[in-house]
Structure 1
Amino acid sequence: MYVVSYFTSADEALHLAYSHDGEEFRTVNDGRPVLRGTVGTGRLRDPFIGIGPDGLFHLLATDGWTSPCIVHATSADLLTWSDQRLIPVMAGVEGAHNAWAPEFFLDRATGLYHLIWSSVVESGSTAEGRNFEYVSQDHRIWHCTTEDFRTFSDPAVFFDPGHSVIDATVHALDDGGFLMAFKDERGTNDPATAHKDIHLTTFDSPGGPYTSPTGPVTSSLVEGPALFRRGDDWVVIFDHFIEGRYGAARSKDGVEWEAVSLALPPGMRHASVLETPLPASFPAP
């Protein structure tokens, strides 16, 4: 089964949808949020759900536009969640302005979980007065590691191609390596911009070296990519954030991509896709 976690512009909270075939997604709770923010700014943006070392579902989410923390909670059934807490991933980094779009993945070689997110770090400046919603800032992908989601390593840069990038998402490959999609954040929020699109890279070990990025695999003015496998295909979905709709593409080899139509929830923003066995709390096929 596939579970999509997302927020909406009208309701910055955790929404869920599910699919048995990876094509038609149905909303949970009649499209209403299943969880609202209770810590920090009270916002749950860019929600990501993965399975942690305890076998529970772990939620990470962005705590507003300029928080140096990310939100964390756990659940056994995706519907009932633990108390939320803030993980101060960038709070100790001088000049850190934000921590966006957190996700995590397991490095099977070490048993460590890598949390990744996007941050602006400019020593001697603050986020105050900046228009993060509409004006691009100079982001890089950062990360830290954990074994138990209780203690975390110091943050460090994870991916820096020499220009602004956000919204990295990682999927394990069968050979032990990883495929990563990310947004080239250069350019402006204008259809004629040369960037603001999704690219791909691979790596064998977290932190690189990385293969030369391929792409773009989307048109411009998209963000929030999510990767999943559907049979023999790779599928990437992405947020046309200006147009208020979602797009998708599929590939046999991760190199050549073609557009594909999926039935996704209306109003969905910055979604992530979890491939998981069917929880008892969700309807059977």
Structure 2
Amino acid sequence: MYVVSYFTDADEALHLAYSHDGERFATVNDGRPVLRGAVGTGRLRDPFIGTGPDGLFHLLATDGWTSPCIVHATSADLLTWSDQELIPVMAEVAGAHNAWAPEFFRDRHSGLYHLIWSSVVEPGTTAEGRDFEHNGQDHRIWHCTTEDFRTFSAPDVFFDPGHSVIDATVRELDSGGFLMAYKDERGSNDLATAHKDIHLTTFDTPGGPYASPRGPVTPSVVEGPSIFRRGDEWVIIFDHFLEGRYGAASSRNGVDWKPASLTLPPHMRHASVLETPPLASLPPQ
């Protein structure tokens, strides 16, 4: 089963859709949110769901445009959620302006879970007065580690290619290494711009070294990539956020990509795909 978590511009809350074939997705709760923000700014943007060390589903989400914290909650069935909490991932970093698009992945060699997110860090400045929604900023990918989602290591830079990048997402490869997609955040929010597209890299150890980037593997202007396995192929979905639609591409080797067709919910923004065994809370389509 595949579950897509997303928000919409009209409702910055957790929405879900699901599919049994990875091609046709049906909305949960008739397209209404299954969870609304209850801490911080009250926003749940860029939601990501993965399975934690306790066997529960763990939600991470962006707490608005300029919060140094990310939202965290847990669930056994994706419909009923624990009390939300704020994880202050960047609160102690001087000059940190935000913490966007949090996700996590597990390193099976160390057993650690790596939380990753995008941040601007400019000591001596603040986020006040900056138009984060419309103007690009100088982001890098940051991370911390945890064994239990209760205590976390100090944050550190995870990926810095020498220019602004956001929206990293990581999948473990059968070989034991990792595949990472991310957005080249250079350029402007204009369909004629250069950059603002998705690239790929691989690494064996979290934090690098990283292989030479490949791409772009998408058109421009897009963001919010998410990668999942469907049969013997990889599928990547991405948000054409200026055009109000979603795109997808597929690959059998992770190198050569071609356009793919999926039926996804309308108005979906910055979605993430969870692969999970069938759940009684989400009936057959």
Category of TM-score, reference length = shorter chain? over 0.9
Shift of 1:192: 1.3
Query: Does 2:66 align with 1:37?
Result: no
Whole-Å separation in 2 of the counterparts to 1:279 and 1:261: 25
TM-score by length of 1: 1.00
RMSD: 0.5
Letter of the 2:69 counterpart = C
Q: Which amino acid aligns with 2:106?
A: L
**2:262 aligned with 1:277:** no
Q: 1: distance between equivalents of 2:260 and 2:230?
A: 12
Q: Counterpart in 2 of 1:241?
A: 241
Matched AA of 2:134: Y
Shift of 1:280: 1.2
Given the alignment of the two structures, is residue 153 of structure 1 paired with residue 147 of structure 2, yes or no?
no
Partner of 2:132: 132
Question: Matches of 2:279 and 2:94 in 1, distance apart?
Answer: 42
- 2: CA distance between counterparts of 1:247 and 1:5? 16
Measure, in 1, the Cα distance between the counterparts of 2:142 and 2:136. 17
Q: What per-residue deviation string (whole Å, max 9, x for no partner) do you get for residues 163-216 of structure 1?
A: 000000000100111000000000001111110000000000100000000000
Q: Deviations over 1:204-260 (max 9, x none)?
A: 010000000000000111000000000111100000000000000000111111001
Please list, as runs of the form range in 1=range in 2, the aligned pairs for 1:1-285 lying within 5 A after superposition: 1-284=1-284
How many angstroms apart in 1 are the aligned matches of 2:35 and 2:189?
Answer: 30
Letter in 2 for 1:181: A
Q: Which runs of 4+ in 1 moved over 4 A?
A: none
- CA deviation after TM superposition for structure 1 residue 261, in Å: 0.9
- Residues of 1 paired with 2:278 and 2:31: CA distance? 19
Q: Which amino acid aligns with 2:144?
A: C
Q: Structure 2: how far apart are the matches of 1:5 and 1:201?
A: 24
Query: 5+ residue gaps in structure 1?
Result: none
Cα distance per residue 1:70-121 (max 9 Å; x no partner) = 0000000000000000000000000000000000000000000000000000
Aligned residues: 285
For residue 115 of structure 1, what is the amino acid of its counterpart?
Answer: L
Separation of aligned partners in 2, 1:280 and 1:144? 33
Gaps of at least 5 residues in structure 2 are none
- For the residue of structure 1 that corresponds to 2:13, the secondary structure is coil
3-state secondary structure, aligned to 2:12: coil
Offset at residue 284 of structure 1 (A): 2.5
Amino acid at match of 1:152: F
Partner of 1:284, secondary structure, is coil
SS in 2 for 1:16: strand
Name the amino acid aligned to 2:258: E
Aligned identity (percent) is: 83
